[in-house]
Amino acid sequence: MKPTKYILILLSLFLTFSCEDDDNPTSQGSEIEVDWVLIKNSEFLENIYYPDEMGNYGDLNVEGVGYFFWYTKSTEIQSLSLPIIDNDNMNSNITSENFNGILSFTYNNQDYSYDLSSSYIEEYDVYLIVTGDDEEQYTRITVNLNENNSTIYSDWGVGYLINLLSPNELIDYR
């Protein structure tokens, strides 16, 4: 069989079996596209930068309750109470100096507020919260309640698949 004919047969099979009727491009079955998502994890493990006795910063693994708050770069979130984290700054944690434990923001002219104080680790003065930073901008977020997962896509096409079953808990999304 000629290579051209072989390619045409494969292409026609691909198109035949991969096409589906869907009038909603942002929803694939039970998967919905959202602008932001808040997920709680009761067994959170975060690598923070923390000074030793000599004042030198190094990596330290901290465990506790934590949260993921992701939003797309096109989302109109205003008055966000979380600080923007600079990954180039070794001492760039969410602490009591730059956050009061209450996540608040305005989205679509509606105010939202969530108590994230359970993520505070007093011993290290750090909140276990992961969010976008000045470099990580997310282009797309999906939530699939039937499959219990959320996927976060970045500028460079990488998707983070987050399981929404225990120890994770979906708090809210829009």
Q: What is the pLDDT of residues 130-150, one digit of tens each?
A: 887 555 678 999 999 999 999
- For the chain, give the mean pLDDT: 81
Residue 10 has pLDDT above 80, yes or no: no
pLDDT of residue 75: 86
Give mean pLDDT, residues 49-77.
86
Burial of 39 (0-12, 13-18, 19+ CB in 10 A): buried
Give the pLDDT of residue 16: 42
CB atoms within 10 A of CB 99: 20
Residue 19 lies in a domain: no
- The reply to whether 10 falls in a domain is no
Looking at residue 105, its pLDDT comes to 96
Residue 5 lies in a domain: no
Number of compact structural domains in the chain? 1
Domain that holds residue 129: 24-173
Q: Among candidates 31, 37, 87, 32, which has minimal Cα distance to 67? A: 37
Q: Is 126 helix (H, G, I), strand (E, B) or coil?
A: strand
pLDDT of res. 49: 77
Mention every residue, 6+ apart, whose C-beta is less than 8 A from residue 118.
65
How confident is the model at residue 156, as a pLDDT?
77
Q: Tell me if 61 is assigned to some domain.
A: yes
**Average pLDDT score over residue span 1-22:** 45
In a domain, 112, yes or no: yes
- Asked whether residue 14 is domain-assigned, the answer is no
Domain annotation covers residue 99: yes
| Overall average pLDDT of the 92-98 stretch | 83
Q: What is the pLDDT of residues 27-41, one digit of tens each?
A: 456 899 999 999 999
User: Quick check: is 70 in a domain?
Assistant: yes
